[in-house]
Copies of this chain bind each other. A is one copy, B any other.
């Protein structure tokens, strides 16, 4: 009971505490995670500020520590949540009954588009890479999440080779690497690329061209006698 700094004069008159509130743990957690996701994606692990996060939630800083332990715990939860939500999108994709080349085209386009649509995810993955993926690696869900897309690509490869339309050195993992690299970079490096070269490739037009280019590159790498369409 040491009010050491209250020498004498009414310093720190206690704010009136809220007299009533509802219990809603799930909503509180969600609220915190939503705000924290934005903060970590914007400023990174060390750059994000717990006090600021707390202010933007409808609850208090104490609750963050109550539910997530510490800053790192909060970050880990954010990471897992955003990884998981993206996996759902990937799993929803159904190309099993398209013919192989069309399936591959669709998968590539879908990957490209989902990257464009989820910049927050991209930023968090960038941040993870800065940290050498140490938090993703600690997670026991994240390392298992991306299997879905690889399986789909593997299926396409198998079918494509059987049909004689894909080169027999086509490899699902390499295919994913190619698609990912283009799709990821397109979002992750937009800022510096624009700084160096202007935004010509990042207008609506430019992005359409790039998207087609990516498809052509990927198909061109594995489809036998692939003929890219002309122009953008």
Contacts and interface: CB of A to CB of B under 8 A. Distances in A.
B189 A129 contact: yes
A197 B143 CA distance: 8
Contacts of A133: 191-192, 194-195
A44 B177 CA distance: 26
Instruction: Count the copies.
Output: 2
Contact of A150 (B180, B197, B228): B197
A194 B228 CA distance: 31
Interface residues of A, number: 59
Given A181-B185, A182-B182, A189-B125, A200 B220 contact: no
Interface in A27-65: 43-47
A18 interface: no
A137 interface: yes
Given A44-B44, A228-B221, A126 B195 contact: no
Nearest to A123: B130
B192 A125 contact: yes
A158 interface: no
B177 A210 contact: yes
Contacts of A196: 142-143, 145-146
B47 A178 contact: no
Given A129-B188, A181-B186, 16 more contacts: A43-B130, A44-B44, A45-B47, A125-B189, A126-B129, A127-B130, A129-B189, A129-B191, A142-B195, A145-B196, A173-B197, A173-B200, A174-B210, A177-B193, A178-B182, A178-B217
25 contacts: A46-B46, A47-B47, A126-B126, A126-B129, A126-B130, A126-B188, A129-B188, A129-B191, A133-B194, A133-B195, A136-B192, A136-B195, A142-B196, A173-B200, A176-B197, A177-B193, A177-B201, A178-B182, A178-B217, A180-B193, A181-B184, A182-B182, A213-B221, A217-B217, A221-B228
Interface of A: 43-47, 123, 125-133, 136-137, 142-143, 145-146, 150, 167, 169, 173-174, 176-178, 180-182, 184-186, 188-197, 200-201, 209-210, 213, 216-218, 220-221, 228, 230-232
